[in-house]
Amino acid sequence: MKHIVYAEKPHLMGDDAADALMEYARALADAGRSDVVTLRALDERGSVVDVAFLLNPGTLLLTQTTNSEIDGPDNSSVVEELVRLASRLTHPPETQPEEAPEPQADRWETRQ
């Protein structure tokens, strides 16, 4: 479990979610982009909450390990998506030039 401190509030979540959020935030900052990510976390009272993180090049996040032995809320589908998105930002797919369309003979003829 790790604490993610965002906007001066700590949120407790699984290591996988905290690590994926940090990696995605770094990838977005490197690309000069932004996104909103919602994860489930435990707040300072132990309640399960949904936390929306606005990630942009100026976002300040801090992660801190804990000795907590409890399991964090399930974020597996979001973690999977964050890993995929971060990978696309850091290793974008190669683009190929598009082939020019075949000219159509009557397209360029002048009509009389």
Residues 62 and 5: their CA atoms lie apart, in Å, by 5
pLDDT, residue 108, reads: 47
Residue type, 84: R
**pLDDT in single tens digits along all 112 residues of the chain:** 999 999 888 899 999 999 999 999 999 999 999 999 999 999 888 899 999 999 999 999 999 999 988 888 999 999 999 999 999 999 877 766 666 555 555 544 544 4
Domain boundaries, the chain: 2-93
Side-chain half-sphere exposure of 86, counting CA atoms within 13 A? 18
Residue type, 96: Q
Residues 93 and 96: their CA atoms lie apart, in Å, by 10
